[in-house]
Amino acid sequence: MADTSDTRTPAQIEADIKSRRAVLAETLDEIGVRVHPKTIVGDAKAKVVSNIDHTLGRAYVGVNKVVSDVRAQFVDEEGAPRLERIVPVAAVAVGLVGLLALGTRRRRK
C-alpha cells in the first residue's frame, strides 16, 4: 500500500498549491502563445524565408562554381587570357551574329 502520510503543514501545502498554480498558469500562457494564429503564421514565414535563403545560397554557390570553371577555360593561373581558346570562340560568335544579320536582311526583302 502507498504511504499517504504527509508531514507538511497546511501552510506548506497551500504554498505548494500556489506555486504549482503559478507554474501551470505560465505553461498555459506559453501554450496560448504557441497556438496563436499570428505565432503559427510567423513561424511558417520564418521557415519559408530560411528555406529560400538556403536555396538561394546553394544556387549562388553553384553559379559561382560554373562561372569559375568557365573562367578557368579562358584565363590561365596568372590571370592572363588564353588566346588559343578565346579566338576560336570569338570567331564562332562573330559568325553566328553575321548569320543572324543575314537572316534578318533576307526576311525584310
Query: What pLDDT is attached to residue 2?
Result: 52
Average pLDDT over residues 4-32: 92
Choice among 28-37, 39-48, 73-82 with the minimum mean pLDDT: 73-82
Can you give the pTM of this predicted structure?
Answer: 0.47
The rounded distance, in Å, linking the Cα atoms of 40 and 2 is 44
Confidence class for position 94, pLDDT limits 50, 70, 90: very high
Task: Provide the 8-state DSSP code for 78.
Answer: T
Query: What pLDDT is attached to residue 109?
Result: 62
If phi > 0 it is left, if psi is from -120 to 50 it is alpha, else beta; for residue 99 that is: alpha
